[in-house]
Amino acid sequence: MAEYAIQVEDLRKVYGDVIAVDQLDFQVGRGEIFGMLGPNGAGKTTTIRVLMDILKADAGTVRVLGGAPGAARERVGYLPEERGLYRGLRLDETLVYLGRLKGMSVASARKRAAALLEQVGLAEWSRKKAQDLSRGMHQKLQIVASIIHDPALVILDEPFQGLDPVNSEVVKDLIRDLRAHGKTIVLSAHEMSRVEALCERILLIHHGRAVLYGALADIKKQFAPNAIEIAPPLDWQGWAEVARVEARDRKQVVYLQPHIAPRDFLKRILEQGLFVEQFALATMPLEQIFVTVVKGE
């Protein structure tokens, strides 16, 4: 079994004179949740379409589940950017039909369809037609449709597009559940803040090229400001260690002078006998990291 779920080396894809993706290198490990992030037009969908064998690469090598794109189609689940299922079919019929296409028996497709619809809160809609669903419900149905055949690798192009916070959580739970069952999940998103907590590793694309790549925790650490998050808020007047303070919800982000280590700062706070409920190293939101990196290029 190949080590990686996906291996991309020096990928290039052009449309006429538009270079959509260039010199792109990344790997997705088996069993991880991988985020392909970047603003509109970055090249996420283009890359995904190459992985799905819908588009041919102009240069580079791409391996999916150890083979050429398209070779392991029945072990891959795909939510395309363009949405649409059979509007006149009932949800259960749609899912059984798609399961059959992927080689499932009617009985097992029906069973899995029922379980998945239940999991995303669509159980009572099972006998309704797709056309009777709201947009968000339709989106959940299509995500369910993409995993009906229990694929080893799931590629979701913008799974949170158009979902409210509650349904976003439902889909995140579904993705975490897939991960817990050993599946590999690749998802794209242009709103980085919405997927930060979900992804273990990320590829941040800008104008078709990678600008950040790796474990999210490492990236966050690398870009962490010399600051702490503290609650409840305190009055820092007269503290030479403090460069500036930002209020964030019921917390404060306290930016320290460059030579001040957070642990020494904490010691000083405790020595002063101040009441502290929460004290944590501050991190920079991914959006902000992206802006920092792109500005510095």
Ligand X SMILES: Nc1ncnc2c1ncn2[C@@H]1O[C@H](COP(=O)(O)OP(=O)(O)OP(=O)(O)O)[C@@H](O)[C@H]1O
Q: With binding defined as CB under 6 A, does residue 42 bind ligand X?
A: yes
Residue 40 binding partner per list ligand X, Mg ion, none, with a CB distance cut-off of 5 to 8 Å that depends on partner kind: ligand X
Residue 218 binding partner per list ligand X, Mg ion, none, with a CB distance cut-off of 5 to 8 Å that depends on partner kind: none
**Angle, CA of 36, 175 and 123, to the nearest 5°:** 135
Find the shortest distance in angstroms from Cβ 44 to Mg ion: 5
Q: Mask of contacts with ligand X, 136-175, x by CB under 6 A?
A: ----------------------------------------
Please check whether residue 95 is in contact with residue 117, taking contact to mean a CB–CB distance below 8 angstroms: yes
Structure tokens at 6: 């996906």
Sole window of 15-23, 232-240, 262-270, 282-290 interacting with ligand X (rule: CB under 6 A): 15-23
User: Which among 95, 134, 98 is positioned nearest to 113, based on CA atoms?
Assistant: 95
CA separation for the pair 214, 229 (Å, rounded): 25
Residue type present at position 149: H
β 227-231/184-189 pair status: unpaired
Q: With binding defined as CB under 5 A, does residue 161 bind Mg ion?
A: no
Please name the residues in contact with 194: beta carbons below 8 A apart, sequence gap of 6 or more: 160, 168
Residue 43 binding partner per list ligand X, Mg ion, none, with a CB distance cut-off of 5 to 8 Å that depends on partner kind: ligand X
Give, as ranges, the residues between 15 and 74 that touch Mg ion (CB under 5 A): 44-45
Residue placing its CB nearer to ligand X in the complex, 16 or 238:
16
Please name the residues in contact with 249: beta carbons below 8 A apart, sequence gap of 6 or more: none
Sites of contact with ligand X (CB under 6 A): 15, 18, 20, 38, 40-46, 81, 190
